[in-house]
Amino acid sequence: MRDPLRIHRHRAFEQPLRIAPVRLLEDSPAEKGARREARHAVQSHDLRVPDAEHVERGRVVGVRRQGGEAGGAHIGRVANALADADRERLAAERDGEHRLAIGTGGVGGHRAARVLLRLRVERVTSRPLAREFAQVRRLARGAPKQLVRVAVGGEPALERRERGRRIEGGASALALRYDGGGILPARRSGERHERRRRPHDPSPAQSLHVRMILRDLIARKRDGGRLAPDEWRFVARVAADRSAPDYQLAALLMATFLRGMDEGETRALTQAMLGSGRTLVRPAGAPPWIDKHSTGGVGDKTSIVLAPWLAACGVAVPMMSGRGLGHTGGTLDKLESIPGFRTGLPLDEAMRQLDTLGCALIGQTGEIAPADRTLYALRDATATVECIPLIAASIMSKKLAEGLTGLVLDVKRGTGAFLPELERGLELARTMIDIGTDAGVAVVALVTAMDRPLGDACGNALELRECLEMLAGGGPPDTWAVTEALAIEMLRLARPALTSDGARTELRAAITNGAARERFRRIVEAQGGDPRVVDDPSRLPQAPVVAPFEAPRAGWLAAMPPRPIGHAIIALGGGRTRAEDVVDPAVGIVFHARVGERVERGQPIATVHARTATALAACRATLASVLVITETPPPAPLPWVTHRVTTAGVEALAAGA
């Protein structure tokens, strides 16, 4: 072990390739006295502060002295290297920054000085540290109720006694304190120091236990084995409370992606994620609760019309939606283009609104399936999203948490779909129907086209304007075809005795008499939005730069591929590639021509809404490269609604579908 570094109190220093104990020059008399009169320890552990072979770079960026206090240095709730080094190493690798506190305790009437030292760990290797602290972890399991003496590099470092939730610090030369959330303040004698454990901050014994179990589960799944329901519950629990390292959960997801899951495992994971959070409970005598879920696409705006439309027909719709990510748009982003509209309603408030208005348009909160939030983020980061069992479990855990009596699925197919192939879409639909049936929820799926954008508008405020047109009885025929088909299925789940024609008649009446539009106005007002947008869409955000995109030549519009169009909207600022990206609600594209139509040179086939002239030019260039115009008529695109899937099987709804 190298000699401790000597540094001046008010100077920062940088020491590459090693971390060493720090001793302050000009120690106070109280510090010297404290070391001379140090208490005896019941146990002594050598933490072996990592040297050059264990740490690539450590940097002390600040040293600060705090005032002394009489009666001993009460160090607070010290999360020290005694039994937590491995977790802190991993946190250091992720966050790159930690803090240590160095101080002395007073004995008798001595006053003790306390020095805080901030350390930046840029990278720490894993194997040596794990070996160094393995024995310490084992010895420390019983430490909380013992008087413990820790030696750092053979020198006294920390003595503590824990009584309940108070830690008494004894005389010590150096006190190591690792805490990812920052330095905890010292407490005077007799005071209590409370530290609420964070969800991702398990005790050392728990942390080791979780890692050992997950290692076995990863190995079994890697080798093609299956996990039992209680093991999936364990995975969901440690994902929800963040007590598992991300790298192990990611490894398990990759093993699952490669090896798959059987039906029993998929159901077990769904129920485990469902049970990781709160669930809504439909009151006795309440109307049926029906929701809809889409696998996503470009221009897919049907949820905003469906929710108030069904609510106006007496069906309760607890619609929990998501945000846009990748080339697909998100219902929450579109709703939030309404000034003041709140999608983050607490569940209790959403329940009250569901009771009074028959609808609440909300996002997934931390109360609903928290395990899914963790696992979904890791799936997105590790390219394991496109796994049908994981997709089905993710979707259904959230939908079952809504306490639904029925669910309609809109499964997209085509080049812009999440699962482009029809067979994979049908497999996903059947999987989710089976999960719902097992849970006592009636589920119907429609397979709809996403080989070109749905409707005219693509972009948040632009799509919301199109929804307002539909609620007033207007709107594009393709958006109407898909939205009405989904609405009929939702109404029939709520009232099984209804025929398709009967459901269509009732739904159209709710549009004609203005009930659906008025219901949306009330929902907007209840959720803090400006209800005047319903009558005056010009109150929605508007882009400052608006210009047409003209056909570069005459011919037939043969292809409008959704993915590059969605990416063009992201480039305008209307979407996100990362969850934390900020969305510009005003930008987007409105199309004026459809696949299969004849266009002439110079004819406006789209209007681009941009924030800047540069963004406008880039979007025009993208459209010029992706929109296909041919000299001969192209093959017919996919029918908008191609299949209906129920527990009875798959029904083709269009010829040649």
Task: Give residue 584's pLDDT band: very low, low, confident or very high (50, 70, 90).
Answer: very high
| Conformation bin of residue 53: beta by default, left when phi > 0, alpha when psi is -120 to 50 | alpha
Tell me which of 45, 398, 413, 519 is the catalytic residue: 398
Decide if pLDDT at 6 tops 50. no
Q: What is the pLDDT of residue 657?
A: 65
Domains of the chain, residue spans: 5-191, 206-260, 291-363+395-539, 545-630
Q: Give the lowest-confidence range in 250-254, 365-369, 427-431, 470-474.
A: 365-369
Give phi and psi for 129, each to the nearest 5. -65, -40
Is 206-260 a CATH 1.20.970 domain?
yes
Instruction: Measure the CA–CA gap between 197 and 174, rounded to whole angstroms.
Output: 25
Task: Give residue 406's pLDDT band: very low, low, confident or very high (50, 70, 90).
Answer: very high
Mean confidence (pLDDT) of the chain: 75
In this structure, how many other beta carbons lie within 10 angstroms of the beta carbon of residue 640? 20
R_g (Cα) of the chain, nearest Å: 31
Task: Give residue 58's pLDDT band: very low, low, confident or very high (50, 70, 90).
Answer: very low
The token pair at 319 is 């619609």
Q: Would you say 56 and 124 are in contact if contact means Cβ atoms under 8 Å apart?
A: yes
Instruction: Measure the CA–CA gap between 83 and 87, rounded to whole angstroms.
Output: 9
Tell me which of 45, 77, 293, 620 is the catalytic residue: 293
Specify the higher pLDDT residue, 200 or 412: 412
Q: What is the pLDDT of residue 582?
A: 84
Mean pLDDT of the region 517-525: 97
Decide if pLDDT at 168 tops 90. no
Tell me which of 114, 149, 327, 379 is the catalytic residue: 379
Give phi and psi for 121, each to the nearest 5. -105, 115
Mean pLDDT of the region 339-362: 93
Tell me which of 84, 372, 478, 584 is the catalytic residue: 372
State how far Cα 282 lies from the chain centre: 26
Active site residue 379: yes
The token pair at 229 is 């329901």
Which residue in 309, 341, 630 sits closest to 479, CA to CA?
A: 309
Torsion over CA of 494, 367, 217 and 212, rounded to 10 degrees? Answer: -170
Q: What is the pLDDT of residue 88?
A: 43
| CATH of the domain spanning 545-630, picked from 1.10.3720.10, 3.90.1170.30, 3.40.640.10, 1.10.10.10 | 3.90.1170.30
Active site residue 412: no
> Which single residue is written with the structure tokens 């006053």?
111
Q: pLDDT tens, 444-462?
A: 999 999 999 999 999 999 9
Q: What is the pLDDT of residue 240?
A: 92
Determine which helix (DSSP H) or strand (DSSP E) holds 148, and give its type and residue range: strand 148-152
- CATH T-level fold of 291-363+395-539: Pyrimidine Nucleoside Phosphorylase; Chain A, domain 2 (3.40.1030)
Mean pLDDT of the region 499-526: 97
Q: Which of 5-19, 104-118, 182-196, 577-591 reaches the highest mean pLDDT? A: 577-591
Q: What is the pLDDT of residue 656?
A: 62
Q: Would you say 290 and 441 are in contact if contact means Cβ atoms under 8 Å apart?
A: no
pTM above 0.85, yes or no: no
Instruction: Measure the CA–CA gap between 468 and 514, rounded to whole angstroms.
Output: 12
Mean pLDDT of the region 468-494: 97
Q: pLDDT tens, 105-121?
A: 333 333 333 333 333 33
Decide if pLDDT at 101 tops 60. no
Sorted by sequence, the CB contacts under 8 Å of residue 600 that are 6+ apart come out as 551, 554
Q: pLDDT tens, 611-627?
A: 999 999 999 999 999 99
Specify the higher pLDDT residue, 185 or 380: 380
With H, G, I as helix, E, B as strand and everything else as coil, classify residue 181.
coil
Helical axes 229-240 vs 246-259, angle rounded to 10°: 140
Task: Give residue 81's pLDDT band: very low, low, confident or very high (50, 70, 90).
Answer: very low
Decide if pLDDT at 66 tops 90. no
Q: Would you say 320 and 368 are in contact if contact means Cβ atoms under 8 Å apart?
A: yes
The token pair at 631 is 């000299």
Decide if pLDDT at 185 tops 90. no
Q: pLDDT tens, 192-220?
A: 333 333 444 555 556 777 888 999 999 99
Task: Give residue 477's pLDDT band: very low, low, confident or very high (50, 70, 90).
Answer: very high
Mean pLDDT of the region 213-229: 94
Q: Give the lowest-confidence range in 2-6, 142-146, 254-258.
A: 142-146
Active site residue 394: yes
Give phi and psi for 189, each to the nearest 5. -55, 135
Active site residue 372: yes
Q: Would you say 490 and 318 are in contact if contact means Cβ atoms under 8 Å apart?
A: no
Q: pLDDT tens, 282-317?
A: 888 889 999 999 998 999 999 999 999 999 999 999
The token pair at 536 is 């005056």
Tell me which of 172, 303, 394, 397 is the catalytic residue: 394
C-alpha angle with apex 584: 307 to 359, nearest 5 degrees?
Answer: 15
The dihedral sign for the CA sequence 524, 527, 532, 537: negative
Task: Give residue 34's pLDDT band: very low, low, confident or very high (50, 70, 90).
Answer: very low
Decide if pLDDT at 146 tops 50. no
Which of the 8 DSSP states describes residue 289? B
Q: Give the lowest-confidence range in 207-216, 219-228, 500-509, 564-573.
A: 207-216
Residue 618's alpha-carbon distances to 69, 441, 589, in angstroms, are: 64, 47, 13
Give phi and psi for 254, each to the nearest 5. -65, -40
